[in-house]
Structure 1
């Protein structure tokens, strides 16, 4: 409230005061709507610099698209209703390299940056693909070859390929709602949650070094574990000889033609949270998808090798996927280089983050969709299915 008892401009826009948003509630509604757009005010970040002077084109009115309806689950749904049901903050649709629709929720602009959460993993893998293209990393080499500090952990004899495809045997579970387990300790190591009494937060590398092997061998079933992607970030830093944010800026962000700086959350010693800390604008996220659709090329310039992109969108073990837990919501899927494949005839593939973050590429339709959301729950399989149905509909509408 202001001194005269009236709501401040912030409260009028969001329905709560800025002081209400804290590190212990930033991922919960209603505070997440603001927090997902202003992560750098809550958590330390490193800048990923864009090339100065590039101007963003004006937003494209999504009116015609929003008025469309489609059948889903035996019911008829309107596009705009699905955007509301999935707590959409921003949506960008590209067709054949051209933006055909921009949707922004209230208080979200074309310059607003939003956290990707685990869709960050797919961006991180592109940076790894660039190093592979340079001949600086070998996907068959062990993690401890690049990061000797992890020699006593589960990663000692895990290969980089195991890490990229989430096939590391790891005694770790993604228990998002458990405030006391290893996942909560992992978040504290990344400065994503407040410390608890008597607890000294680890750095990411100290936490990763503490993780031990699971019951099976590496290279087995698909086992989704976010720490694998932070390990990948450490490998990138060691192999490139640069801080992750600096290497990503020079080799991905600026060649891509990104219009706005991105940023990535870091831990207490400056290690990038490459498993979930990227923040960027929706248009710039869509540009990443368009680069992938074009086989690794943006602005007429090759960013990552064609064979790495082809491997990402066509390979991966169907058997490993079927043995994992995500088959429930993506029955024909596969996972390769930290990207999901739908198994659809369109060849569609996508990046995914909790609370509804997506980068969806449909090669047959020449369509890319970038979607930011603030869904109340971190994981909601029904909303995953609904989002994927929306993207399939957008592909039909845009063709």
Structure 2
């Protein structure tokens, strides 16, 4: 079902209706991720009254060809259409050079970015640290004392930024009664089944416990920068913590620091990644920033992530100085 066929009519056909019970399930997700404000209570974060103007010089990239990880030839546009892509934006040397929008999307359509939000939060953390308003080495409870009795009572802000808190949490998106489900009930994202209390975020956070291991040793995926913060991300991600962590098999040799991934340390690339196919990819060597939004059926789909990494590298290679 195409996004433009969902929630059409008054009332929509039963199979085309989106509710809080199904808005992140396929195919409803194809509508839900662009209409989140109609599904959940939200607060708008307004842009600056004087936003930085964006220069535009369109270039054709849709037909750019590359070899997918399975050895098959493909193109950027084919990959977008075959992987439930919703939007693609490419900036090169500060200039917007390419935009692509799928069904139901436009330049003004909001779209859920999932855990890319963490990378943005890590960036804001760097700004606050540069201004002396946040100490990454301070204990978390210095800023949120209510968490003293939780797993966060003994960890630092740096542990949280690097997702290296020794927390007892299993990120299984398929378990209807697991840790992810409880988190989503408390946040209001999902409707709890009968007999299960919804709770709220603050109460939920205080229930989280540790694994008994020290913080800062293992990467555990559960949740405008000053120059030194960018350098710190590139240089100080802990490869051993990554190798011992949850996603080592997906991105071998990667690192994680301040909510940003360094997928390939030899390239000094950075990435913010969200479930269901959200990517913010930055390649410093070619001065390129790529945003890709999607509504993939699976929360985590490794073959599609690897195909998109190949696409990003084909784009950056095409734009790199010759």
Normalising by the residue count of structure 2, what TM-score does the alignment of the two structures yield?
0.91
Contact 1:346 1:365 in 2 (8 A): no
- Where in structure 2 are the equivalents of 1:298-309 lying within 5 Å? 304-309=225-230
- Where in structure 2 are the equivalents of 1:13-32 lying within 5 Å? 20-32=17-29
Q: How many residues align?
A: 314
Of 207, 232, 235, 1:314 maps to 235
CA deviations 1:167-224 (Å, max 9, x no partner) are 1111111111111122211001111001321233121111010001113111111111
**2:279 corresponding residue in structure 1:** 358
The 3-state SS of whatever aligns with 1:40 is helix
Give me the whole-angstrom Cα distance separating, in 1, the residues matched to 2:294 and 2:121: 20
Normalising by the residue count of structure 1, what TM-score does the alignment of the two structures yield?
0.74
Residue 333 in structure 1 maps to residue 254 in structure 2: yes
The 3-state SS of whatever aligns with 1:45 is coil
Give me the whole-angstrom Cα distance separating, in 2, the residues matched to 1:154 and 1:325: 19
Give me the whole-angstrom Cα distance separating, in 2, the residues matched to 1:18 and 1:38: 17
Give me the whole-angstrom Cα distance separating, in 1, the residues matched to 2:118 and 2:51: 26
Cα 1:393–1:8 change in 2 (3 A) is closer
Give me the whole-angstrom Cα distance separating, in 1, the residues matched to 2:228 and 2:75: 39
Of 105, 108, 112, 1:108 maps to 105
Of 142, 146, 151, 2:148 maps to 151
Of 94, 97, 116, 1:97 maps to 94
Superposition CA RMSD, Å: 2.3
Give me the whole-angstrom Cα distance separating, in 1, the residues matched to 2:120 and 2:184: 20
Q: Which runs of 5+ in 2 are unaligned?
A: none
Cα 1:132–1:163 change in 2 (3 A) is same
**1:224 corresponding residue in structure 2:** 221
Give me the whole-angstrom Cα distance separating, in 2, the residues matched to 1:190 and 1:165: 22
Give me the whole-angstrom Cα distance separating, in 1, the residues matched to 2:41 and 2:161: 26
Cα 1:19–1:159 change in 2 (3 A) is same
Give me the whole-angstrom Cα distance separating, in 2, the residues matched to 1:347 and 1:305: 17
**2:62 corresponding residue in structure 1:** 66
Of 156, 159, 170, 1:173 maps to 170
CA deviations 1:50-91 (Å, max 9, x no partner) are 1347597698766x3111211122221122111112211000
**2:266 corresponding residue in structure 1:** 345
**1:195 corresponding residue in structure 2:** 192
Give me the whole-angstrom Cα distance separating, in 2, the residues matched to 1:305 and 1:51: 19
Q: Which runs of 5+ in 1 are unaligned?
A: 1-6, 227-295, 297-303
- Where in structure 2 are the equivalents of 1:241-260 lying within 5 Å? none
The 3-state SS of whatever aligns with 2:66 is strand
Residue 379 in structure 1 maps to residue 289 in structure 2: no
Cα 1:201–1:139 change in 2 (3 A) is same
Q: CA deviation at 1:344?
A: 4.6
**Which structure has more helix as a fraction of its residues?**
1
Give me the whole-angstrom Cα distance separating, in 1, the residues matched to 2:129 and 2:32: 35
Cα 1:58–1:88 change in 2 (3 A) is farther
Contact 1:348 1:362 in 2 (8 A): yes
Q: Which has the higher contact order (CA 8 A, sep 6+)?
A: 1
Residue 393 in structure 1 maps to residue 314 in structure 2: yes
Q: CA deviation at 1:357?
A: 0.4
